[in-house]
Structure 1
Amino acid sequence: MSQDELPAPLADGFTMMLEGEEASHRLAQDFAVVMRTGDMLALSGELGAGKTTFARALLRHLAGDDALEVPSPTYTLVQTYETRPKATHFDLYRIGGEDDLVELGFEEAAETGLVLVEWPERSTLVMEEANIHLTLSGDSPERREATVLLTPEAAARVERSLAVRAFLRAAGHGTAHRRPFPADASARRYEHIENADASLVLMDAPANGPVSDAARLYAQTAHLAQEVLPFVALAETLEARGFSTPHIVAADLSAGLVLMEYLGDEGILDAAGRPIAERYEAAALCLAELHARPFGRHVETSDGLAYEIPDFDRAAMMVEVGLLVDWAFPRIKGRRASEEERAAFANVWNSVFDALAGTETNLLLRDFHSPNILWQGEREGCRRIGLLDFQDAMIGPTAYDLASLAQDVRVDMPAELEARLLAAYRAARSTAGPFDTPGFDAAYAAMAAQRATKILGIFVRLHERDGKPQYLRHLPRIRAYLRRTLGHPVLAPVAALYEEWGILADD
């Protein structure tokens, strides 16, 4: 079997033929994009079988540097690289015994990064603990056989990566260079796909769904997309309406794979991470243009597959704000909320949602803020705003997306800039037709507070459940936004409860 075919998994791995050195390099890329801290890759084969060549390609890919100097560790025995994750390359050909591994710092390397081990047969420990074992055979770099054995968990990752390569091949980009984007709070994975004539983005989002019943119930109630159909249908519909979304190049909806246009990496923040006011205002005007025209809930892909956009209904709003009670409240109080406290929380938010009856609704993109907006300076008008991450879009109060932008949770937005965006949006909407400014302002306050409340809970959860403490640094900013917003009369019950609970006090 050649690398031009997806290998059929065996009981404990697979075998493939590598036709030429470039095929070996591509296989190294396909491994590298899914390797993580704790992985141990054992590289077996006779002298000249290509072990060091494979290791060099993998390390260069992990480093994002095709010119990285990667000498053979035959004489030094070990080389460490500050890649992502950190990688340590061992050559055990000359070790005298297992004790040598201790002196080489093998255990620490395996715990703090990933390790690549040539001549693993010299160590019983490595042969027992390696979760990926690659054996290369053949005396010509033009044709080698690769046999791969994996643990079940590693097999799932590697086989998924090889499925991605097969998808790229079917789309005409089988020899493309793959580079993963840094991970974020999303469960989706993205790669930058490059070859001589294209620069694209791959979305890898298998429709596995949440693993726990609680997570599944939350996702269903909050209408979180569990497949890529919503993204593809909305991208194509928005593009047809004149908005800048990534053009869909290829998609395998059943596999959860989408290949799309790369919109670049220029956003709406400056080099120091501060908001560029003119670009934020352009984004607000783009929202005004989107909201000025009705957007039906029924959308279709170019292949005729239909998707019904859900409502941002009361159940979705309530389950989102409930994250504060589930996660932020215990962090502040040192205990879980009582049933009486939960009831009080539900009552004050229900009063806010009651006040939203009759407010304007239309398409809301749901996460319209700096990480998901790319500046398209060569385009004109609203098309200067590149839209990303809208698969969770809903039909709901239009004020939600403006609040998401003007109170960007990852950026310090001065009150003056927030007011400027509100004024620009109101003016554009009023010019386009009848517009209820007081009603919109009340909805804006309600949606800004609802979103900030939800994110307080999410960011604490990311820290405590998912081990991502970096999100805690945003909490003071989110509380500041709440303090700025809770003065609106529609939020008086929420303001009183948050004051009683100490929600707005910084840690």
Structure 2
Amino acid sequence: MTTTATNETAPPHARPFLADAGWGEARIEPLAGDASFRRYFRVVRADGTSAMLMDAPPPNEDPRPFLAAAHYLLDHGFRAPGILAEDAAQGLVLLEDFGHRRMRDHLDTAPDDEAPVYRDAVSVLANLHRAPAGPFRPYDLNEYLREAKLLTEWFCVAHGLAVDDDGYEAAWREVMEPVLGAQARHPGGGVTVLRDYHAENIMLLSPDEDGFEAFGQGLLDFQDALVGHPAYDLVSLLQDARRDVDPALEQDMLRHYLPHVDDEAAFLADYARLGAQRNAKIVGIFVRLSRRDGKDRYLDLIPRVWDLMERDLAHPALAPVARWMDANIPGELRAARGATAA
């Protein structure tokens, strides 16, 4: 995370919270926000030590899912930020500060590090998928369908398209059936899925820091964790809505993960299914962020996401959804020149 030049101030109840935690005199610096109501601040003591303050204000936010996921990850040897203090009722959490070395920013300045950094991120997932599934609700068909429908509810509506909603749901039901079967075959009904695992939510740390076995990568933004399919977070990482990942690198990283699966062809088909589902969701979310929340900057990312989705739709496993797309969404709206006209 990097400091942003804004006039955002912490909520009034932050000062007493910090005082109770032993940080009462710390300086509070606002940090750049993202797509949610959560805000983050860096708090810095006079001696230079720092921590992160999360403001997750009720009723729009609830820090308890974040805290549950953080404790699960820490208990299993993964590098979530340590919890220094918490007041869930007021939406405040004081966290360990992972510093400034975000994966995205590091690779922007050191592109030669791309392969080893991504390989480490894939290795973190392989270790996470060997751990017992966390105490999270299942990534079930209703959730997959709800997310996929964000495309029709927001993107299609924004473009004035009258589409076959029933056919859309039926296509996704058919496509996602093998994914649900694969999840069910895992002990515990699946693996822990962080759901927003990408280069802007991974911090690069010293690999030996505090004795954690986490390949030097700190994890952020995991409050929406579910128990689902191991391909989901791979898709999130390798089909990044915010950063170009070369298809050759994507294939190299898949080869790095595939020794951990029993049936490579089935896994790659599920990877394409989940890629298309996730990218459909993201297109809808980015339009929603613009139309509902006034965050128009996300529209510029939509062409990349459509390009990723088209690659996924080319897989035979996506044939029902691909046919629906061809029948309902004109090609010019799926191309870069039309994808952002929302």
Q: TM-score, normalised by structure 1?
A: 0.60
Aligned with 1:337 (options 152, 159, 162): 162
The question of 1:271 aligning with 2:108 is answered: yes
2:83: which partner in 1? 248
Question: 1:97 is matched with which residue?
Answer: none
Is 1:400 aligned to residue 232 of structure 2?
yes
Measured in 2, the distance between the counterparts of 1:418 and 1:440 equals 15
* 2:186 counterpart residue number: none
Are the aligned partners of 1:364 and 1:394 in contact in 2 as well (CA < 8 Å)? yes
1:364 to 193, 202, 208: 193
Q: 1:505 aligns with which of 330, 335, 338?
A: 335
Q: Note the 1:163-174 alignment, pairs <5 A.
A: 163-174=13-24
Selected match of 1:414 from 231, 246, 253:
246
**Which residue pairs with 1:181 in the alignment?**
31
The superposition leaves residues 261-299 of structure 1 with CA deviations (integer Å, 9 ceiling, x where unpaired) of 0111212232359682211111011101110232242xx
Match of 1:321 in 2: 148
What does residue range 15-26 of structure 1 map to in structure 2 within 5 Å?
A: none
Percent of aligned pairs with the same amino acid: 37
Structure 1 segments unaligned to the other structure (5+ residues): 1-62, 65-82, 86-156, 210-225, 298-308
Matched residue, 1:33: none
Asked if the contact 2:80/2:219 (under 8 Å) is kept, the reply is yes
Instruction: Work out the CA distance in 1 between the residues paired with 2:263 and 2:213.
Output: 25
Structure 2 counterpart of 1:98: none
Highest RCO, 1 vs 2 (Cα 8 Å, sep ≥ 6): 2
Q: Which runs of 4+ in 1 moved over 4 A?
A: 272-275
Structure-1 separation of matches of 2:240 and 2:281: 14
SS for the counterpart of 1:389 is coil
What letter corresponds to residue 108 of structure 2 in structure 1? A
Larger fraction in helix: 2
The match for 2:177 is 354
Q: Which residue of 1 aligns with 2:12?
A: 162
Partner residue, 1:51: none
When normalised by structure 2's length, the TM-score is: 0.87
Does 2:95 align with 1:260?
yes
Q: Which runs of 5+ in 2 are unaligned?
A: 184-189
Contact 2:195–2:233 at 8 Å: present in 1 too? yes
Where in structure 2 are the equivalents of 1:78-477 lying within 5 Å?
Answer: 84=6, 161-195=11-45, 196=47, 198-209=49-60, 226-269=61-104, 270-272=107-109, 276-297=114-135, 309-331=136-158, 334-338=159-163, 341-360=164-183, 361-379=190-208, 382-427=214-259, 429-430=260-261, 435-477=262-304
**Contact 1:268/1:280, CA 8 A, preserved across alignment:** no
- The structure whose Rg is larger is 1
Count, aligned residues: 319
Task: Say whether the 8 Å CA contact 2:207–2:217 is kept in structure 1.
Answer: no
Counterpart contact for 2:78–2:213, Cα < 8 Å = no
Aligned equivalents of 1:491, 1:206: Cα separation in 2: 40
Taking the aligned partners of 2:52 and 2:320, their CA distance within structure 1 comes to 45
Q: Do 1:355 and 1:490's aligned partners in 2 also have CA atoms closer than 8 Å?
A: no
Amino acid at match of 1:337: A
d(CA) in 2 for partners of 1:190 and 1:291?
29
CA offsets 1:439-458 (integer angstroms, 9 cap, x no match): 22121111111110000011
Q: Indicate the SS of the match to 2:25.
A: coil
Alignment partners' CA distance in 1, 2:91 and 2:25: 21
Does the aligned pair in 2 maintain the 1:376–1:386 contact within 8 Å? yes
Do the aligned residues in 2 keep the contact of 1:364 with 1:398 (CA within 8 Å)? Answer: yes
Q: Which has the higher strand share?
A: 1
| Residue identity in the other structure for 2:247 | A
Output the CA distance in 1 between the equivalents of 2:92 and 2:244. 35
